[in-house]
Structure 1
Amino acid sequence: MPPALIFDVDGTLAETEELHRQAFNQTFAAAGLPWHWDRALYRRLLAVAGGKERLAAFVAAQAPERAGEVDIPALHAAKTARYTQMIAAGAVTLRPGIARLLAEARQAGVPVAIATTTSLPNVEALLRATLGEAGPGAFAVIGAGDVVPAKKPAPDIYAHVLRRLAIPASACIAFEDSTIGLAAARAAGIPTVVTPSLYTDEDDFTGALAVVSDLGDPQAPYRHLAGAGAGDGMVTIDTLARWSAAVEGRRSP
């Protein structure tokens, strides 16, 4: 079995990006800023990882006249407060199969970790809202936010998590939903399962270990899109172990 499972958060653990978009727009309105990010624009902005970085890129490209007057860290902090309130109110649930796979990993003694560019308060709010107050403690390592200077697609956050886990990259499986997340995990040497999300369904996932609609649950098995294995079913610890063994077999001389 894979020694560790490493999860991205936004779009992977839960479909959160639409909530982030709404929180940004509410924050802009409250601050008296004449900005509104529609879905098409937000899809393009997601090419920049990290909320503060995304906001800075938008200001630089679309509102350079505001560059000297917008306090990006403060604006992002206000957005984070709105987002965490929405999460705490139950605005999202985990994607299909996530809770089941986490339970399987716990029962099998497989450590789970998080590698994300979103801020730690966002992560902890989501985990508490969906897994209970003990949710954050279910993860051996949570790599989030600004713990590393370079955001995805740089592999830094994965390298950080691997160091904390003390497990080689080739022995792990990562879960991502986007091209930039896949690039980060692959650059760190980690085989990656992709579950495309609302804003990443048109991304290019070449190089993924497998691409599936979701991880599946007993009521709604996943739809297999590309990569390892074949057919429908559920992505289980045993499934991942087979896929991981196949990767190792291809690496062996």
Structure 2
Amino acid sequence: MTDDQEADGRRLPRAVLWDMDGTLLDTEPLWTIAMEQFAEKLGIEMTPELRTATMGNSSVDALTKVYDAARVPDSGRDFDGDEAWMVQQVLALFADDLRWRPGAVDALELVAAADIPMVLVTNTIREVTDTMLDVLGRDRFVATVCGDEVAAGKPEPHIYRRAAELVGVPIGECLAFEDSPVGAAATFAAGVPSIVIPSAVPVRARPTFTFRETLEGLTLDDLAAACRVGTRSGAAARDVQKYEA
């Protein structure tokens, strides 16, 4: 953060933590196709309710919910094999149709121009994330944290706490961007203020959330305002380990 940013009365975040799927990249429709293919592979239909339940989940959590819906016994749950199958499906889909969310590029450039370090924080596994970074631009981020690199993915707080550790900033002085109920829950549980741009599923309001319809038109004043909201509510949020989204 520069002296000029402090001098004009704005207190900007010391780091910005970006979710990827549905926030920066319009991948949710492609994940939906892959999840439908997986459900069909297990002999069931991917209902809207099941898709909503899996949205934004880590791969293990998403697979578990589909296994449960298909009544697959524990002995028949091949997490490693089915995850590898899913990876191949989504990479093929992403190769053909990977798009930015509205305003995402300008938002990244806004934060970069303010010299605020950015971390990519995603439930997506490392193998898939590394492919997406070719689109996002690796050099934009000082670090990346994936769902398969922490004890438990979103909605647990571990992934955001790890991101703050990697950038060396107290988590309450960061600002996160999220789109899903699962991701937003993780920010609240971790005690990081967040700007939430719901992409496909409504997100329950929480004291540390600032809602926007899109990243288009984002300004530094918007970042500062979201930080003020988080500061006022942060003490209560940091006492919460998790909540049911």
TM-score by length of 2: 0.82
Structure-2 residue corresponding to 1:226: none
Structure 2 counterpart of 1:186: 188
- Gaps spanning 5+ residues in structure 1: where? 217-233
Q: Please tell me whether the aligned partners of residues 208 and 234 of structure 2 are also in contact (alpha carbons under 8 angstroms).
A: no
Check 1:149–1:75 CA distance in 2 against 1; reply closer, same or farther (3 A cut). same
CA distance in 1, matches of 2:185, 2:234: 19
The letter of the residue matching 1:187 is A
Distance in structure 2 (CA, Å) of the matches to 1:63 and 1:156: 29
Contact 1:182 1:208 in 2 (8 A): no
**Alpha-carbon deviation of 1:238?**
3.1
* Corresponding residue number in structure 2 for 1:228: none
The separation in 2 between residues aligned to 1:61 and 1:36, in whole angstroms, is 9
- Aligned match of 2:21: 10
3-state DSSP class of the match of 1:175? strand
**1:25-58: CA deviations, max 9, x gaps?**
33555xx532331433211333x82122211232
Match of 1:214 in 2: 214
**How many Å apart are 1:176 and its aligned residue?**
0.9
RMSD over aligned CA atoms reads 2.3
- Of Structure 1 and Structure 2, the greater helix share is in 2
Q: Deviations over 1:211-249 (max 9, x none)?
A: 111111xxxxxxxxxxxxxxxxx2222321243246447
Number of residue pairs matched? 224
Deviations 1:151-207 (A, max 9, x none): 222110011111111001121110111222222112222111100012x13x31232
Partner secondary structure for residue 143 of structure 1: strand
Query: What is the identity percentage for the equivalent residue pairs of Structure 1 and Structure 2?
Result: 28
Q: 1:150 Cα deviation (Å)?
A: 1.5
Residue 58 of structure 2 is aligned to residue 56 of structure 1? no
Counterpart residue identity of residue 179, structure 2:
D
Distance in 1 between residues matched to 2:229 and 2:80, nearest whole Å: 44
Aligned counterpart in structure 1 of residue 131 of structure 2, from 125, 131, 134 = 125
For 1:92-107, list aligned pairs within 5 A: 92-107=98-113
The aligned residue for residue 115 of structure 2 is 109
Which whole-Å CA distance do the structure 2 matches of 1:77 and 1:58 have between them? Answer: 16
- Residues of 2 paired with 1:251 and 1:87: CA distance? 37
Q: Cα–Cα, structure 1 residues 96 and 167, in superposed 2: closer, same or farther, change >3 Å?
A: same
In structure 2, runs of 5+ residues without a counterpart are 1-11, 236-245
